[in-house]
Structure 1
């Protein structure tokens, strides 16, 4: 695949584009993300499915601008897919041919199951979970991908979308008819055996992201990041009811709905609430990725069963690539992190998941120096919070950021963790992690990658260095240690 690639997704309500840059074999980063509410399916469901002239003109003009952005970013490959609106429209070829002839862009119309599959591929690779059901609510249809044990087992597309429901039922205030319509379509899912439907949904699409923003605000959530945001359905269903009962746009604004969602949020909420109820869903994970990323991943991972290699994290690899962190230094610090964690296991008694996070924090700690050498730990903290975009729980990225912030410093206190306390482990765990990364970085302070052994005996950690290193020997005694542990350097 070309180093810079453009993916365009023409949906019934919105048209979206991402421009992605490869940094190594599997790693990539986002260069641009653009959205245009072209509403290409506007008016079509009440006109025998035919695309209307004004809507096609909006979509054509937006595509022109998208391609301008793509060319400016030196993209060498463009993949454009279209979903429900074009696959349903009898006159879709009129638009497709005009775009091909005048813009030189080939539009690939994908069927419903393929659309669901792309959403599933994106979630499977970029969400930290291995068993869930994706739900992608669009303007004309809603797609579902069943993921079990890290594999997509079934893909389904149903003709229930926000624009479709608006034109067929909501404009006529026929909510009972809308309910019957959605329930009838959902029988394809509810007729499956109960134990075959995961109780965790990964929500894709603008409606579900808009709902998550409101839920985050109502719960005073400390992290302003949608991808990976998780909530319990039973604790937040009242918010869906508030939206459905809103009398006008002013009421929606008071709830926290943005202006560009006024025209479809009720329909989308209606669809999602019905799905959650019918499938007895317990948990929702918000996805910031969807069809576009799925199309991209299907291309770059086509020779590996559309999955990243085991233990590969695209966000970590991308940051290491982009900030040109020395691979040998990174590998050394990662290996040392494992040794330190394992040597102290009997006294810290931490879950193994923190071992992996300690390795990641140790590898990434220096990227802040590229942003601002002075106070580099603070720079890294801010960047890690947003930079570990994919395949990370929110709690994990916040923990990694705090480890780095308090590396080679005093141990954190409770007041230091207050802002993100709901996402962090307890203070004792954070102090252990802070100490272990500080010790790791101090040992390699002169960047010579010294050979070292760690031996724990009677709550004393002996650090056996192969040869004397003054910086290490002078700095380690200054480290603040968790209660009950002492550190001694031996040559």
Structure 2
């Protein structure tokens, strides 16, 4: 396997400069290793002559710190870009040249179409969007991308960024009624230019700092139990409630709202209004949050560089495998647990009635059940759940992420319980968790010796009993012993039958 690389991506935006460092083996696995964020307000004070001296100095100091950080931490490659503020400014190219000469940092100025493209690439490697739109609400501009069959089709960029709109329209604190109406009219007028957006079928995915802050505010308000925003759904109703709150509170109170960064409190309202207007134009009642964006899109162009389109086809399967690889899963053991769990699941289908969606959750949990051992063997089941719900899983919904985490939590002990994740669940998910956890626990103990001693398992049942016959070359003494102690009771409760365990190979007289 090739050595891992440390790839830094710098995004100099109109409001914020960001640096991410990804540790990656291209095409195999990647993880976010570090991140730095600094508010520079590059667009602030921009006029016909271009960027103001104060804003350029703020950005230059931040970029110098980013470059020194990359040098001191031995980053292998730096991908650096600048977006709307620099591309719109009369002196933008002069600023880029100064950065190149004095810092040795080559800033690539992205045009609006390319900025939209990279945002869409980032989102498509995070969210299972097949058809619809990706919107990136930034500080200076908004990018909207059309997606068809999980491919970027076209993009549009317009001057509807949070900072740009705030500077143009907001003078009062809180915003006045006249200012609000003028702001809404400008948003509607500008979006009218995007003719294809009005006829675009499908779903809406949103990204950017404004969207993440709005989602966090909603999550805090409703007691969302997960720490990741992967796949978070922000409804139009919830967004309307946030807008009403933001437009009526003065800045001193907005700063204190749970989930809202204090350095965004003065510019967040226009971003919320833009998101609402796009939802209304598309006729959707909710949007899905992507935690990935422009920076990740630039990274994926490097990560999937052997492809024409840097988009993973099966985002869910690769997301599970990527997380397993990050935490050095025991491939042979995890795959055999998955195989045995799948065999039991398939044969019990007439009893449980589940199908492919539930099977996918079981498969994911089987691959990830032991990743918590990288923290400590003691309580590694709990650690596995923590790693899953903290990292999130691309393409999965919050409910699915929570269920996969819970399955790993109960893969070896304990009584399955939805607990604090109950608000995310659907009717019947308590029984689903019980049954899938029982199957996963059974598979784990049938592979207790980590030697694939049990080749297969045959399941049969009557009205009162459930028989498990193990197929093996030699009598699997360790597996039978530990399965009887730790797994059969949960199977009995899950399927309401006495469980009998036997083997095609008889024990030796000394066994």
Give the TM bin, normalised by the shorter chain: over 0.9
**Aligned-pair CA distance for 1:391:** 2.7
Moved over 4 A (4+): none
CA contact (8 A) 2:26 2:304 kept: no
Alignment partner, residue 32 of structure 2: 30
Alignment partner, residue 436 of structure 1: 439
**Aligned-pair CA distance for 1:393:** 1.7
Aligned equivalents of 1:233, 1:390: Cα separation in 2: 23
Aligned equivalents of 1:115, 1:71: Cα separation in 2: 26
Aligned equivalents of 2:268, 2:163: Cα separation in 1: 10
SS in 2 for 1:50: coil
CA contact (8 A) 1:23 1:322 kept: no
**Aligned-pair CA distance for 1:109:** 0.4
Alignment partner, residue 465 of structure 1: 471
Alignment partner, residue 247 of structure 1: 250
Alignment partner, residue 423 of structure 1: 424
SS in 1 for 2:171: helix
Residues 1:276 and 1:194: Cα distance change in structure 2 (over 3 Å): closer
SS in 2 for 1:171: coil
State which of 176, 181, 185 in structure 2 corresponds to 1:180. 185
Alignment partner, residue 234 of structure 1: 237
SS in 2 for 1:129: coil
Alignment partner, residue 343 of structure 2: 339
Does residue 303 of the first structure (1) align with residue 315 of the second (2)? no
**Aligned-pair CA distance for 1:292:** 0.2
Does residue 105 of the first structure (1) align with residue 105 of the second (2)? yes
Does residue 484 of the first structure (1) align with residue 484 of the second (2)? no
**Cα RMSD after superposing both structures:** 2.2
Alignment partner, residue 62 of structure 1: 62
Aligned equivalents of 1:389, 1:43: Cα separation in 2: 41
TM-score normalised to the size of structure 1? 0.93
**Aligned-pair CA distance for 1:407:** 1.4
Alignment partner, residue 124 of structure 2: 124
Greater displacement, 79-88 / 24-33? 24-33
Matches within 5 A, 1:34-45: 34-44=36-46
Greater displacement, 171-180 / 288-297? 171-180
**Aligned-pair CA distance for 1:312:** 6.1
Aligned equivalents of 2:281, 2:437: Cα separation in 1: 45
Residues 1:251 and 1:452: Cα distance change in structure 2 (over 3 Å): closer
Aligned equivalents of 2:260, 2:451: Cα separation in 1: 54
Alignment partner, residue 397 of structure 1: 401
CA contact (8 A) 2:230 2:392 kept: no
Residues 1:362 and 1:255: Cα distance change in structure 2 (over 3 Å): closer
SS in 1 for 2:192: helix
Alignment partner, residue 13 of structure 2: 11
Aligned equivalents of 2:170, 2:201: Cα separation in 1: 29
Structure 2, unpaired ranges of 5+: 505-511
State which of 346, 356, 366 in structure 2 corresponds to 1:362. 366
Residues 1:175 and 1:240: Cα distance change in structure 2 (over 3 Å): closer
Alignment partner, residue 475 of structure 1: 482
Aligned equivalents of 2:481, 2:132: Cα separation in 1: 51
Does residue 283 of the first structure (1) align with residue 289 of the second (2)? no
CA contact (8 A) 1:24 1:321 kept: no
**Aligned-pair CA distance for 1:49:** 6.0
TM-score normalised to the size of structure 2? 0.89
**Aligned-pair CA distance for 1:429:** 0.7
**Aligned-pair CA distance for 1:86:** 0.8
Alignment partner, residue 165 of structure 2: 165
Residues 1:354 and 1:464: Cα distance change in structure 2 (over 3 Å): same
**Aligned-pair CA distance for 1:388:** 3.3
Aligned equivalents of 1:487, 1:223: Cα separation in 2: 38
Aligned equivalents of 1:251, 1:151: Cα separation in 2: 38
Aligned equivalents of 2:185, 2:391: Cα separation in 1: 44
Residues 1:238 and 1:125: Cα distance change in structure 2 (over 3 Å): same
CA contact (8 A) 1:3 1:22 kept: yes
Alignment partner, residue 272 of structure 1: 275
Residues 1:16 and 1:166: Cα distance change in structure 2 (over 3 Å): same
Greater displacement, 425-434 / 273-282? 273-282
Deviation track 1:297-331 (CA, whole Å, cap 9, x = no partner) reads 12222332212243664443333323322322232
Residues 1:24 and 1:358: Cα distance change in structure 2 (over 3 Å): farther
Deviation track 1:403-453 (CA, whole Å, cap 9, x = no partner) reads 1111122442xxx32311122452111110111100110111011112123
CA contact (8 A) 1:49 1:88 kept: no
Deviation track 1:242-295 (CA, whole Å, cap 9, x = no partner) reads 112223422552575331112211222232233333332211111211000001
**Aligned-pair CA distance for 1:454:** 2.1
Alignment partner, residue 115 of structure 1: 115
Structure 1, unpaired ranges of 5+: none
Residues 1:25 and 1:235: Cα distance change in structure 2 (over 3 Å): closer
Deviation track 1:45-83 (CA, whole Å, cap 9, x = no partner) reads xx1161011111111111111122222332111111111
Alignment partner, residue 373 of structure 1: 377
CA contact (8 A) 2:342 2:359 kept: yes
